[in-house]
Structure 1
């Protein structure tokens, strides 16, 4: 559910100069898409991993208290599938039909007992009404940044309406660390299917958004189209987020840093509870 899916001429949508040059080399072969649409969703899913610090931290937090879990912006199941694997009942909500189709495909390959504990809902995380309560509501890294201020306010209201007494809203937020570094970075990453991608990120210090551009590291040489995924995501300041949460009636009880010191990306897991 991207804030902005960048479309149009590929060389214009790649925000950083290195990404722009790389995409320009493809010329008319570049097929530009968003990370969460029908073309980009399978690539996003290929890169998503269940074995990462964020997932492990969320699973550890959820294990401490029984009860059903609501996974917001669930996508293709990055958190949903591990939660089901540890025996939890999960409602997975996402706005993207393409991402939820990938989740359903995964569920179809699981045992019936596991599928029975999962409810898949297409819905907007900024306003939802599910008619039940949850002991935990989860929202993963960058997802909150996909909403504007009004959307975040609606999210907080909806979360509060769905928490059980003593329930917790667990969310992770990513901001830029203090390590400095270049405005644009480029790395090679390998998806679960073995495909190697070039991942460019343009994130100037102090900017209110960052742009990610993703394409195959070794595109075919036969002149066929090459998929280029690019999306711009807002950057939400941690202090401002905590102020918003408090004003909405959600009090931060713990802050768990998930990134090593000096990392470009500083990810923090916040545990919140209703102030009532």
Structure 2
């Protein structure tokens, strides 16, 4: 991941129901970023094993040749399905805490899986690797973690590392422009550990960022409570398509990603290739 907020800055973003829930904790609240040493286990518990967007990504990779570069691989949520599908995968991740969880998971995997995976600590916004790839993937709408002035570095690095005819796959949110005012969704999320988390997502129509806050449910009766939060950008699909075109990519197709019924914000998978 890239451009992560510090815990102090993340804490200042809390308003609405998320802010009220944290304020009720008083000095029991231990605010951290969702991607730092304290927040990474929470992220992995919630997202580390979910199959969200995996089906669409693997379908797009049918018949693809060459190795896959999994950008901002996190704890390996997409890396392991790619390995299971038979690909050689390089998993690139900036957060050492996330990368540590991924490497621990790899250490427990069969040797045949381990030997096809290379892990690299690097920034998706600007990277230089010795190899070239048939597919470069940036999933989990992680493009939203890069501010506009850093996305040009991502596009340049991708162009430099794609094999001729290779494809760039990335997911982003397709924001419903009909919304107005402040949108705050709260959902209960069952995690791999059996824990339940309340996930608050706050976004104001037209704003270029949204805040995600995660608290355990039920709240423990006493003791410190980890509050994992972060503020990430909103990069609508139409904006991303325009940026890719300007960066020298041809848009091949856009595929909706299945999500909860009734949601106003849907994710999409964008496939692009370098323009000759």
Residues 10 and 167 of structure 1: is their aligned pair in 2 closer, same or farther, counting only changes over 3 Å? closer
Aligned residues between the structures:
274
CA distance in 2: counterparts of 1:266 and 1:7, whole angstroms: 28
Residues 198 and 88 of structure 1: is their aligned pair in 2 closer, same or farther, counting only changes over 3 Å? same
1:203 counterpart SS class: strand
Displacement of 1:175 after TM fit? Answer: 3.4
CA distance in 1: counterparts of 2:11 and 2:70, whole angstroms: 36
| Residues 1:66 and 2:85 are matched in the alignment | no
Contact 2:48 / 2:76 at 8 angstroms: preserved in 1? no
CA distance in 2: counterparts of 1:85 and 1:245, whole angstroms: 30
Residues 114 and 232 of structure 1: is their aligned pair in 2 closer, same or farther, counting only changes over 3 Å? same
1:63 counterpart SS class: coil
1:243: which partner in 2?
242
Displacement of 1:150 after TM fit? Answer: 2.3
2:38 counterpart SS class: coil
| Residues 1:36 and 2:35 are matched in the alignment | yes
Moved more, 208-217 or 180-189: 180-189
CA distance in 1: counterparts of 2:2 and 2:178, whole angstroms: 27
Residues 59 and 11 of structure 1: is their aligned pair in 2 closer, same or farther, counting only changes over 3 Å? closer
CA distance in 2: counterparts of 1:11 and 1:91, whole angstroms: 33
Q: How does 1:156-195 map to 2 (within 5 A)?
A: 156-178=155-177, 180=179, 183-195=183-195
2:82 counterpart SS class: helix
1:219: which partner in 2?
219
> Aligned Cα RMSD in Å?
1.9
1:92: which partner in 2?
91
| Residues 1:263 and 2:235 are matched in the alignment | no
CA distance in 2: counterparts of 1:257 and 1:81, whole angstroms: 22
CA distance in 2: counterparts of 1:217 and 1:5, whole angstroms: 24
Instruction: Provide structure 2 residue ranges, at least 5 long, that are not aligned to the other structure.
Output: none
Residues 21 and 61 of structure 1: is their aligned pair in 2 closer, same or farther, counting only changes over 3 Å? same
Displacement of 1:170 after TM fit? Answer: 0.4
1:275: which partner in 2?
275
Give CA-to-partner distance per residue, 1:99-122, whole Å, 9 cap, x none.
000001110111111100000000
